[in-house]
């Protein structure tokens, strides 16, 4: 049996759908089972034959975390450590998600899993601490560092852009932060393949869609594909701007491109970001 933690989040809902599509037996929990309370986790897991735990929960409010680092730490680090301890008690394998924010972002070549993390935001620090807690408390873990996550469930950059394209004739979009999006649909399909293979290739992995783009590049493609599908006008003017022109409480990595050679060794399929964006629009139509 699979235990899906964070079943109501953007990624959690996508993973739940793929588990159903593949007739895989799973139980899901969300806020009703508090991951920061290990007794609640133990109580839930008792008498269940859990082989895998997929942790799709987390504190993800990047800017808010600057003022709420202790709260973010409790969820992203203490909670993850609790999950790891329970997994170890059960002998279960854990899938956990981290972030490109564990890196400072001043690199110029794709980040490998062996590169030294150096987070420069509260969110990044709490996520790195979560990785440390997981590794400290269990040996059967897969940590997937992902970037720029978006999907058909929940709020994300793509949905925000489509809304703004319908509200404003002109927008400034950051052009000096470079990385790659991660579409939840493709990620979830890859995760199901991993579970089915019952892999023991434990460790840290970097994963995103294929590509090397800025937020400006992403916004342009969202506008162009969205306009073709009648979701927004194609006349919206997009102006590239610098990070300095759009200050935020949390520092973002200027460069967060991943080297994904290692994750391909797990059999993960990597798809280009434009193709995944097209799939996103197609799959979004099916849930209306």
As averages over each run of 10 residues, the pLDDT of the chain (288 residues) reads 97 98 97 97 96 98 98 98 98 98 96 97 98 98 98 95 98 98 98 97 98 98 98 97 96 97 96 98 82
DSSP β-ladder status, 52-55 and 93-99: parallel
The full length of the chain comes to: 288
Give burial (CB, 10 Å; 0-12/13-18/19+) of 56.
buried
Q: What is the model's pLDDT at position 285? A: 85
Q: What is the model's pLDDT at position 167? A: 97
Pairwise CA distance, residues 130 & 262, whole Å: 21
Pairwise CA distance, residues 38 & 132, whole Å: 17
The CA distances from residue 118 to 65, 108, 137, 255, in Å, are 17, 15, 22, 13
What domains lie within the chain, and their CATH numbers? Answer: 2-155+180-210+257-272 (3.40.50.720)
Selection from 50, 21, 261 nearest residue 29 by Cα: 50
Q: Give me the torsion for CA of 190, 191, 196, 200, rounded to 10°.
A: 110
Residue 183 phi, psi dihedral angles, 5° rounding: -85, 125
Q: What is the model's pLDDT at position 223? A: 98
> What residues are labeled active site?
123
DSSP β-ladder status, 203-206 and 213-214: unpaired
Give burial (CB, 10 Å; 0-12/13-18/19+) of 205.
buried
């Amino acid at each position: 049996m699979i235990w899906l933690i964070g079943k109501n989040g953007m990624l959690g809902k996508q993973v739940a759908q793929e588990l159903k599509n593949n007739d895989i037996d799973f139980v899901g929990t969300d806020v009703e089972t508090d991951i920061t309370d290990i007794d609640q986790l133990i109580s839930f897991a008792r008498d269940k034959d859990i082989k895998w735990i997929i942790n799709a929960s987390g504190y993800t409010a990047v800017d808010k975390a600057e003022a709420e680092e202790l709260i973010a730490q409790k969820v992203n680090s203490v909670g993850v450590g609790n999950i790891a301890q329970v997994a170890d008690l059960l002998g279960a394998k854990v899938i956990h998600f981290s972030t490109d924010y564990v890196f400072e972002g001043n690199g110029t070549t794709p980040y490998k899993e062996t590169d030294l993390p150096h987070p420069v935001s509260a969110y990044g620090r709490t996520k790195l601490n979560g990785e440390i807690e997981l590794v400290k408390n269990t040996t059967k873990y897969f940590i997937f560092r992902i970037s720029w996550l978006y999907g058909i469930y929940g709020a994300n950059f793509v949905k925000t852009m489509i809304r703004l394209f319908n509200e404003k004739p002109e927008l400034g979009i950051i052009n000096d932060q470079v990385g790659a999006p991660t579409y939840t649909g493709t990620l979830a399909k890859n995760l199901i393949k991993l579970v089915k293979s019952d892999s023991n290739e434990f460790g840290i992995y970097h994963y995103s869609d294929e590509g090397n783009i800025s937020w400006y590049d992403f916004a342009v493609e969202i506008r162009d594909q969205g306009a073709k599908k009648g979701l927004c006008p194609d006349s919206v003017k997009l102006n590239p701007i610098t990070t300095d022109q759009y200050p935020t409480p949390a520092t973002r990595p200027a460069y967060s491109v991943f080297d994904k050679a290692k994750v391909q060794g797990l059999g993960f399929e990597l798809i280009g970001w434009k193709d995944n964006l097209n799939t996103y629009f197609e799959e979004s139509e099916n849930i209306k």
